[in-house]
Structure formats: structure tokens, C-alpha cells
Structure 1
Amino acid sequence: MVHPSSARAAPPAPGRPAPGLPTPEPDESDEARKPDSRALTRALFEQLTALERGTPEHSRVRTALIEANLPLVRYAAARFRSRNEPMEDVLQVGTIGLIHAIDRFDPGRGVQFPTFAMPTVVGEIKRYFRDNVRTVHVPRRLHELWAQVSGATEDLTVRHGRAPTTAEIAAHLKIGEDEVRACREAGRSYYASSLEAAQEGDGMPGLLDRLGYEDPELAGVEHRDLVRHLLVQLPEREQRILMLRYYRNMTQSQISAELGLSQMHVSRLLSRSFARLRSANRIDS
């Protein structure tokens, strides 16, 4: 028997059914039971309105209402089969929505209970996916817009016989193309893929094995660019001396013979060049 407090129960943890809720049996024929279920629902609500809340009889009738309308939960949950979430968890969350609908339903308004309950059941399931399943939480507006983008994609695919472009979806919904792209990214954020997991179906190694490695020479890129920038600020003769010394690996004696200068003068020019380079070095400063 479902206790009245179960209407305020939290959604079940993934893979674990919520205690105290009736578990829908997936093999029942909903279509065959639909007329009898609606008639039974009307009769049970007539009894429920005449009973005082919190009494054993009220709880018994309320439990009977829940069990009689579990096919409605199964119907709503079937819309979310593609979400790759255990269906038992989705059914349990949908049952919580059904309990909320039963507690709020007023038979005197002349509305059929399935019509009243379906938005509550579906809304409870959607909240479960939004708040408990997503690895990356996206803004609610973007999440709701993603549902519109998905619907527009299906409609335009049927209309054109091909997958629509981003521009076509944006024009259909009268939104910007950047918003469409953002919605698509949000739609792919239900689960985070493991870097070490093998790619299913294609026989490829995990993503981690296909990522680029860190180039050990990468740290020197900035320094080489800086040296190039500083060298052009030196006089031409000093540039040449540095090139001969450090790019052609010539000794000071060889440089002095090459340029017709004394070795002492070459040494002074090198020292002066180093002083200028250090004073202009923006990294050390």
C-alpha cells in the first residue's frame, strides 16, 4: 500500500526503485484495459472525495487509483526509451508524478483524469532527466529550446527528405544560428564519454589513445619567437656576430678572422648584445 507521504518522495537513485511505489508491469495490455480503467478511475475518485484524508480507507482507495492508472505511466515513460536510462527508474519517477496528479485532481471540473495527469507525469520525468541524469547541467531556457530544435529537426527532415541545415532550423524557429548550435551541444551533454572507453562498433581504440601528445619542443616556441623579435633590434654587425657564434657554432677567434676584427672586440660586442637582449626581454622582466 502506498502511504500518502510517498507523494513527496524524492526521485529514485539510478538503478534503484523507490520504496513503497507500485512497480508497473511492462507486459500488460494497456489498450485492452483502457475502457475499464477509466470507468474504475471515475468510480474510485467518487469514493475518494467522500473519504477523509489520512484514514485507512482513504489510503486504500488512493492506492487502488495509483494501480489502476499505472498504464498511463508506462505510456508516458515509453517516450523516453531513447534516453538510455533504466526504464524501471523512469517508471518510478513517472509514478511519483501520477501520485501528485491524483492528490490534486478535482473530479468536479469535468476533465478526464488522463488528460489532467499526463502533463504532470511527463513533467516529473523531464525534471528527473534535467536534474539527476545530465552530466553537464545547462540553463533551463537552453534545455527547453533544445526540445524545440529537436522537434523542428524531425519536421524539416520529413518535409525535405534530408537532414536540415543549421540555417533552416534557425529560420523555422526564428532564432539565431548560434542558439541552434548551442542547443545541439546541450543535447549531447547527457553523459560524459570516458577517455579510456573503447569506441563501440568501429573497433577503434579509446579516445585517450588517439589524443595528441605534448611536444617537448613546445615550451621553446615562445622563446624562439622572442629571440627573433629581439635580434632585429640589434645593429646589423651584432646580429651577424650572434648568428656566426650560435647558429654556425664558430669560435670568437674564427669570427674575428671572418670579420677582420680583434678577438677582444668581438668579445665586447657579444657582451653588449647580451646586455641589450636581457634589458629588452619581456619574459624576465
Structure 2
Amino acid sequence: MFGQTTTGTPPATERGLEDLDAAAVAYAARIAGLPPDRRQEARDDLVRFALPFAGRLARRYRGRGEPLEDLEQVARLGLVNAVDRYDPERGSFTAYAAITIVGEIKRHFRDRTWGVHVPRRLRDLILEVGQATAALTSELSRSPTVAELAERLETPEEEILAALESAAGYSPASLNAPVGGESSAEFGDLVGASDNDLESVDDRVTVSGLLGRLPWRERRILAMRFYGNQTQAEIAARFGISQMHVSRLLSRALTWLRQAMLADAPAPWQTGAADGDPQRGPLAVRQAGDRLVVELAGEIDRDTAEQLRRTVVEAASAGTAAAVEVDLDGVDSVDMGGVAALLAAREAGRRTGIELVIAGAGPQVRQSLARAGLAVAVPD
């Protein structure tokens, strides 16, 4: 054993580096030729002999937030690993043991002492930032800026900021720490607040799905009104329709959304349906003697203008009726698309010799048509 005169090794006390290397060489010679089960005693002797050396390395890292006893245990574990892996042909045992022990201590700090998980690359950068901060503080006689740290470490400022913020993850404050004073409150009581919007999550998810069932125009108008904070007049100018028409479209879309949210199976959106009556169609055709009557309801806009134009033009071109009457009694407004459809229908009637009669229009609709040169028949 180490400490006996038969080995020629000095007693197991704190000695210089040469003594530790000599003890390792003696250990290698002692176990040469011995079976594995008889090497344990020599291994234990070398470990006990090198314990003071491991203790000195552990004490270099005291004062960094870890108990010295824990660091010594980690250093001893590194020493055991160094003894088990030692090969005298590869050089000094002292150098190899120092690298192994210090590596084990650093691994302990890296993996076991952080209160919050931080990527290894960022942990290494935190150490570099700390060393650079100390050096620059001494050189500049003040705390360095982020730009100066980035220049010293040749690292982008974004990464320097991330390292400075992540450094707090090494020893985060406990949520159970008392606030102080006579109050019994804890730090966690001051963090966060009740989220009242959680109760509306289901409604938000439901509405987002229903919005996808609305036509593009209605979705766009809702977005402009409630997300873009635009007035109805601004929306009307954007779409080329009246402000009253925008109001009706908004009311109709919101009514459908409310009904759909309360229903197990939402009713399909009725394109061009009149307000308050989602089952009523915007256009109906009937024969009245030798006259074809086209009845309209709601608004004549881009959604219904093409259907109106096609119906009237086909009737005028077919020549199956002496006249085509467009009944606007149920129409509230006519936009430019509706006016264009009526003008196209009148032109088709002129080519085929069939009269186009517009009847039943209210004052506002009559005024819009008059500006376009469309006369409205006055009832007898």
C-alpha cells in the first residue's frame, strides 16, 4: 500500500506534482500481471493518495453558489475516473487527472446547478460575457455597453443580449419567496393576473369557423368595420354602395352569425336574401299574359346584378313575351352593377323589339335610375 516502505512511496500526504506522478507509475507497475479482482486494493491506495490533489482543485470553484462538500464529491468522482482510465504510456498522470477532475466539476455546474434550462451554447457564451465584462470594466473604469461586449467577443449584439437575459436562469428567484414586511404574501402572488378572455375562447373559435362560411364581401365588410375600425361611410365608398346598404349587410351578417352560434347545425348562407327573411330569394320570374314579370327583392348589387342581366336579356332575346317588366317594389337600393344590368337589358330589348318596363321603384331607387337615364313607369 501507499505509505509502506516496500513500495518506496512517501506517506499519503499533500505532496508536489512529481510525487503524484511517481505514485501513479508505482501503481501501474504494481497491478501489472495481476488479475482484475486483485487490483482493487492498489486502486484504492492511489485514490486515497490523490484525494488532497482533488480537494485543491475543488476549492478553486468555491463561492460560486455550490457547497464545497458537493464540489469535493464531484472532484473525487473525476479522480476515480482518471485512475480507472490512466495509461502510463500517454504521459503525466497529474495532467490527465487535473483535466478529468476539472471537466467533471464544470459538467456539474453546467448540468446540475442551473435553475432554468439554458442551451449549452448560451451557457458557454454567458461565461465569456462575464469574463469580458470584468476585463472591460477594468479597462474602461465603467460598465461596458452591449456594443462593446459584442465587439470584444466578435458576437452579434442579439446574442449578447440573449446571454445577459439568460444569465438570470442560473439562480432564478423563487415564487415562494416572501415579499417582505409584515405581509404574508409571496412573490408568486404578484406575478400574473386572471385572464378574463379565457371564457371567450370557445366563442372565438366558433366565430372564426363561421366567418369562413360567409361570402367574401360580408367577411371583408366585417373585418373593415370591427378590425379596421372604419365607418360605414368609408366602407360604402370602398365598395361603391350606399352607407344604408352597408348597414343592412352588417346587420344581416351579424344576425346570421348569432343564429349560427346558437344552432347545432348552422343554416347555409342565402346569397342575396332579403333582410329579415333568409329563405326568400332575390329574384323571381313569372308570366303575366303576354308579359314576363321579373320580381326583385332586397338590394340589386354585384351579387344579383349578373343574374338579373342574364334573366332579362335571355327573356328579351327569346321573343316569347311582348314585354319584360322588372318589378322593383321590394328593392331598397340599386348600385352601379344593378344599373348596368338594367341598361344591358334595355339594349337587348331594343335589338329584338321587346319593351323593357321598370315599375314599382321607390323614390330613392327611382332617383338612382333617373340619373342613369332609366325611366320608371308610374302606376295608373
Using the size of structure 1 for normalisation, the TM-score is: 0.59
| Stretch deviating more after TM superposition (93-102 or 181-190) | 181-190
Q: Are 2:180 and 1:180 equivalent residues in the alignment?
A: no
* Deviations, residues 30-83 of structure 1 (Å, cap 9, x unaligned): xx8333x74255135323334135243x32222222122222222222233233
Give the distance between the partners of 1:162 and 1:174, measured in 2 at CA: 20
Give the one of 144, 149, 157 matched to 1:164: 144
Give the distance between the partners of 1:141 and 1:272, measured in 2 at CA: 57
Q: Are 2:75 and 1:94 equivalent residues in the alignment?
A: yes
Label 1:164 to 1:219 Cα distance change in 2 as closer, same or farther (>3 A). farther
Give the one of 120, 133, 136 matched to 1:153: 133
Aligned counterparts, 1:189-208, within 5 A: 189-198=169-178, 206-208=186-188
Kept after mapping to 2: 8 A contact 1:41/1:65 = no
Kept after mapping to 2: 8 A contact 1:45/1:107 = yes
Aligned counterparts, 1:1-285, within 5 A: 33-35=14-16, 38-39=18-19, 41-51=21-31, 52=34, 54-56=36-38, 58-111=39-92, 113-198=93-178, 206-211=186-191, 213-214=193-194, 229=226, 232-234=230-232, 274-275=251-252, 277-278=254-255
Give the distance between the partners of 2:112 and 2:173, measured in 1 at CA: 17
| Stretch deviating more after TM superposition (183-192 or 118-127) | 183-192
* Deviations, residues 10-44 of structure 1 (Å, cap 9, x unaligned): xxxxxxxxxxxxxxxxxxxxxx8333x74255135
Higher strand share: 2
Q: State the match for 1:24 in structure 2.
A: none
Give the distance between the partners of 2:197 and 2:167, measured in 1 at CA: 38
Q: State the match for 2:370 in structure 1.
A: none
Label 1:78 to 1:184 Cα distance change in 2 as closer, same or farther (>3 A). farther
Label 1:132 to 1:43 Cα distance change in 2 as closer, same or farther (>3 A). closer
RMSD after superposition:
4.1
Using the size of structure 2 for normalisation, the TM-score is: 0.46
User: Identity of aligned pairs, percent?
Assistant: 35
* 1:214 Cα deviation after fit: 3.6
Structure 1's unaligned 5+ residue stretches are: 1-31, 237-269
Q: State the match for 2:217 in structure 1.
A: none
Kept after mapping to 2: 8 A contact 1:157/1:163 = yes
Q: SS at the partner of 1:188?
A: helix
Structure 2's unaligned 5+ residue stretches are: 1-12, 205-222, 235-246, 267-380
Higher helix share: 1
Kept after mapping to 2: 8 A contact 1:77/1:87 = yes
Give the distance between the partners of 1:42 and 1:119, measured in 2 at CA: 18
